Amino acid sequence: MESTSITYQPVPSPSKMKPQISNTGTELVSAVSSTLDTDALLQKSQQCLNSLACPCQDLQGLISAIKSASTPPQEPVIRLIEVELLLFFSADIPDTNRVESIFKELSYLSTTNSLSVGSSTPLMRIKYNDLSMDYHFLLSPKVKGLRLADLVTKKINVLSLVHESPTPHPQNFVTDHIRHKLLVYYVLCDSDYRKKGVLRYLDAEGIVDKSLSPGIAEFLARREKLITLEEFKRLVGLIKQDFYPLSVIERSHAHELLENHLDANLSKLPNYYTSISLARIERLLLAPGDQISIEDLLCKMITGNKFPYGASIDQISGFVYFAEKAQKYGEFETHIKQVCDRVAVISASIQAQVKQ
């Protein structure tokens, strides 16, 4: 039987869709057909994905064209590209059964397995584990809540594999993309105590200085100040323009991302207030129409020990206290202590008289 090649013909996007950035998939197919080295193909494919319109209007056609243009030695890289396309460029819910099947097929690339000589490269392992982590922490149907601090920590560990590469690429599009993820996930994280360590890492690696988004740079410059939910929504819109994973993440976890942002901002309140009303907090952080309960979120944070000891909510007065309220009863407690001290003196005096 004669083999037939498939030419990728992109479907024109509707006028209401976001305009395509610079290519429609033809560059990706061309990269596959002209690049033999696996690491070079990973680099080139990542460069193409960075400018691919999201969502892709003919995803299955693009995947078929890539497979048709590939050679057997490229198979693992082609499968990794397929996973990334399925996860982040689908117009609908990703085909998770297909994604999990590919991850199982390529499981030898996991960091938990030893690196077999000739079977893979450090860069392939980096790419596999990066995608696997995104799936299992963000996009799997089994995900019950965002654990972005855990995800960032694991990605930092995976980046250590870069040093195993004997011939580092002059511009590593794969690892640069992961560093961009670290920066974005840091911004989207709640008030987790590990954020300080992550920020030190981002600073040390120069990731913050060469921020890939002006919006993120401004956000980080104001990180000690209160930032409204409306400002955060604008930031998310800016990030999505040059960071394709966020569209899918937001689609799956929109409410949790908003709660994370509020969590991070509520944790700053003790720096400014010892007590504040719930109504004032809502005026500071929310816009009309925002359907998030500040009181419920504060209760979760207090239960999770995210505030200094003694934080509490007085539901009758509608006030939040970030310091112990013992001073409210200071005069009474002082009086009791004085009485106790006087009783002790009298008792000692009586005992002395009895002994005489």
DSSP codes of every residue in 108-133: GGSTTS---TTT--HHHHHHHHHHHH
Contact, 173 vs 221, CB < 8 A?
Answer: no
pLDDT digit string, tens, across residues 277-324: 999 999 999 988 888 999 999 999 999 999 988 899 998 999 999 975
Which segment of 158-172, 211-225, 241-255 scores lowest on mean pLDDT?
Answer: 158-172
Q: Locate 201 and state its tokens.
A: 């890492």
Please indicate, yes or no, whether residues 30 and 104 belong to a single structural domain of this protein: yes
Q: Locate 37 and state its tokens.
A: 């080295």
Query: Is 17 a member of any domain?
Result: no
Q: Is pLDDT above 50 for 21?
A: no
Query: Is 68 a member of any domain?
Result: yes
Task: Report the C-alpha dihedral over residues 251, 253, 255, 257, rounded to 10 degrees.
Answer: -110
pLDDT digit string, tens, across residues 62-93: 999 999 999 999 999 999 999 999 999 998 88
Query: Is 139 a member of any domain?
Result: no
DSSP state of 52: B
Query: Is 211 a member of any domain?
Result: yes
Please indicate, yes or no, whether residues 205 and 252 belong to a single structural domain of this protein: yes
- Say what the pLDDT of residue 120 is: 76
Q: Count of alpha carbons within 13 Å of 165, Cβ hemisphere only?
A: 20
Please indicate, yes or no, whether residues 155 and 247 belong to a single structural domain of this protein: yes
Give the count of domains, the chain.
4
Which segment of 5-19, 45-59, 161-175, 292-306 scores lowest on mean pLDDT?
Answer: 5-19
- Say what the pLDDT of residue 22 is: 43
- Give the domain CATH number at 317: 1.10.10.10
Long-range contact list for 117-121, CB < 8 A, 24+ apart? 120/76, 121/38, 121/39, 121/165
Please indicate, yes or no, whether residues 177 and 252 belong to a single structural domain of this protein: yes
Helix (H) or strand (E) holding 151: helix 148-159
CA gap 230, 289 in Å, rounded? 11
Please indicate, yes or no, whether residues 152 and 235 belong to a single structural domain of this protein: yes
CA gap 176, 287 in Å, rounded? 35
Counting Cβ atoms within 10 Å, is residue 124 exposed (0-12), middle (13-18) or buried (19+)?
buried
Query: Is 3 a member of any domain?
Result: no
Mean pLDDT, residues 52-63: 91
Closest of 336, 243, 230, 236 to residue 287, by C-alpha: 230
Please indicate, yes or no, whether residues 200 and 291 belong to a single structural domain of this protein: no
- Say what the pLDDT of residue 217 is: 84
Please indicate, yes or no, whether residues 252 and 292 belong to a single structural domain of this protein: no
**Structural domain boundaries enclosing 171:** 144-267
Mean pLDDT, residues 339-354: 58
- Say what the pLDDT of residue 113 is: 61
- Which residues lie below 8 Å from residue 65, measured CB to CB, with a gap of 6+? 6, 7, 8, 25, 29
pLDDT digit string, tens, across residues 106-152: 999 987 665 554 557 889 999 999 999 999 999 999 998 899 999 99
- Say what the pLDDT of residue 20 is: 37
pLDDT digit string, tens, across residues 176-232: 999 999 999 999 999 988 998 999 999 888 888 765 567 888 888 888 899 999 999
Please indicate, yes or no, whether residues 314 and 275 belong to a single structural domain of this protein: yes
- Say what the pLDDT of residue 128 is: 96
Helix (H) or strand (E) holding 38: helix 38-49
Query: Taking the model in full, what pTM does it have?
Result: 0.81
Closest of 219, 177, 214 to residue 46, by C-alpha: 177
Query: Is 43 a member of any domain?
Result: yes
Contact, 113 vs 107, CB < 8 A?
Answer: yes
Q: Is pLDDT above 80 for 353?
A: no
Q: Is pLDDT above 70 for 38?
A: yes
Please indicate, yes or no, whether residues 262 and 284 belong to a single structural domain of this protein: no
Domain boundary among 224, 243, 267: 267
Query: Is 5 a member of any domain?
Result: no
Query: Is 306 a member of any domain?
Result: yes
